[in-house]
């Protein structure tokens, strides 16, 4: 069996002495779309932050390509190829779209290939090319989300972590965002996706993991999840 891109074992983490994650285990295979679903406030974003080094891991281990990264600084983790596109926009609102994208190419290898990466982003997200000289703060909500994803893509080809990319967007814009995500998957990109709306990913995710109160309580594929309406009703409010 090939070594996974990411292996999380028995991880605990939280804030100000309050444990949010407790005994989390997860494997993210190369070239696959791994999805984490679950209710709001139960640890999904905290898990991504723990992987990125933004939240301290108090127990357990996180390994990238077999080498532990828990305990490293966030910038060191990014240099090793872990790219997180956080929830919400978090752009530099006073800068142009182009400058926001170029800010993503700060890793040494990404900076060397910034021109080619920019072409790739503009191919995947042509609206950004149209808006490249526009001030980011004046973009629509969907355009800001696309710019955030584009900035993440500028950072390199490693593990891409997306935290609720559909949050707060109109259905037609969500469809556009997910078309890009699925195109990346088809091209072999390794993606760890946090999503509250399970129906968005049931047909396309290679594996789905339900996080509740800081622990994974169910794992499987989309067809298995849709065959368990009691899980959807109990945990996802649908």
179 Cβ partners below 8 Å, 6+ apart? none
Mean local confidence (pLDDT), 55-65:
97
Domain range holding 118? 31-42+84-236
Q: What pLDDT does residue 231 have?
A: 86
Q: What pLDDT does residue 6 have?
A: 98
Q: Which residues sit opposite 191 in a β-bridge? A: 33, 160
Mean pLDDT of the residues in the chain: 92
130 within a domain of the structure (yes/no): yes
Q: What is the SS3 assignment for 82-129?
A: EEEECCCCCCCCCCEHHHHHHHCCCCHHHHHCHHHHHHHHHHHCHHHH
- pLDDT exceeds cutoff 60 at 238: no
- pLDDT exceeds cutoff 60 at 94: yes
36 within a domain of the structure (yes/no): yes
Mean local confidence (pLDDT), 54-63:
96
Comparing 237 with 30, the larger pLDDT belongs to 30
For residue 231, give the CATH number of its domain. Answer: 3.40.50.300
Mean local confidence (pLDDT), 53-72:
96
Q: How many CA atoms lie within 13 A of 100 on its CB side?
A: 30
pLDDT band at residue 237, thresholds of 50, 70 and 90?
Answer: low
70 within a domain of the structure (yes/no): no
Element (H, E) at 154: helix 141-154
23 within a domain of the structure (yes/no): no
Q: For the whole model, what pTM was predicted? A: 0.93
Mean local confidence (pLDDT), 126-155:
95
13 within a domain of the structure (yes/no): no
218 within a domain of the structure (yes/no): yes
**Which tokens belong to 82?**
């872990």
- Which segment of 55-64, 93-102, 113-122, 223-232 scores lowest on mean pLDDT? 223-232
- pLDDT exceeds cutoff 70 at 14: yes
CB 163 within 8 A of CB 194: yes
Strand locations in the chain (E): 6-15, 18-28, 33-37, 57-64, 67-68, 82-85, 159-163, 191-194, 207-212, 215-220
61 within a domain of the structure (yes/no): no
- pLDDT exceeds cutoff 70 at 142: yes
- pLDDT exceeds cutoff 90 at 42: no
3-state DSSP assignment of residue 145: helix
Q: Which residues sit opposite 208 in a β-bridge? A: 35, 220
* Number of folded domains that form the chain: 1
Q: Is the dihedral of CA 103, 7, 37, 14 positive or negative?
A: negative
Q: What pLDDT does residue 107 have?
A: 80
Q: Measured between alpha carbons, how far is 127 from 125 in angstroms, rounded to an integer?
A: 5
24 within a domain of the structure (yes/no): no
pLDDT band at residue 88, thresholds of 50, 70 and 90?
Answer: confident
Q: What are the tens digits of pLDDT across the range 189-231? A: 999 999 988 888 988 999 999 999 999 999 999 999 989 888 8
Q: What pLDDT does residue 2 have?
A: 75
């Amino acid at each position: 069996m090939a070594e996974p891109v990411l292996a999380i074992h028995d991880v605990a983490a939280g804030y100000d002495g309050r444990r949010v994650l407790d005994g989390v285990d997860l494997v993210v295979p190369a070239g696959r779309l791994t999805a984490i679903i679950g209710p709001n406030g139960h640890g999904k974003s905290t898990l991504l932050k723990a992987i990125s080094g933004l939240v301290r891991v108090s127990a357990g281990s996180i390994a990238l390509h077999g080498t532990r990264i828990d305990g490293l600084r966030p910038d060191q983790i990014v240099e090793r190829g872990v790219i997180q596109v956080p929830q919400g926009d978090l752009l530099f609102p006073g800068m142009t779209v182009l400058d926001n994208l170029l800010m993503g190419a700060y890793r040494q290898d990404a900076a060397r290939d910034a021109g080619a990466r920019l072409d790739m982003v503009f191919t995947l997200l042509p609206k950004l090319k149209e808006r490249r000289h526009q001030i980011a703060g004046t973009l629509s909500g969907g355009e800001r989300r696309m710019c955030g994803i584009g900035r993440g893509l500028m950072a390199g080809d490693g593990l891409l972590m997306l935290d609720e990319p559909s949050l707060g967007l109109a259905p037609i814009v969500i469809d556009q965002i997910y078309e890009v995500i699925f195109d990346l998957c088809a091209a072999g990109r390794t993606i760890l996706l946090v999503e509250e709306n399970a129906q968005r990913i049931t047909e396309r995710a290679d594996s789905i993991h339900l996080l509740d109160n800081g622990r994974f309580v169910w794992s499987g594929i989309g067809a298995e999840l849709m065959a368990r309406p009691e899980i959807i009703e109990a945990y996802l409010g649908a």
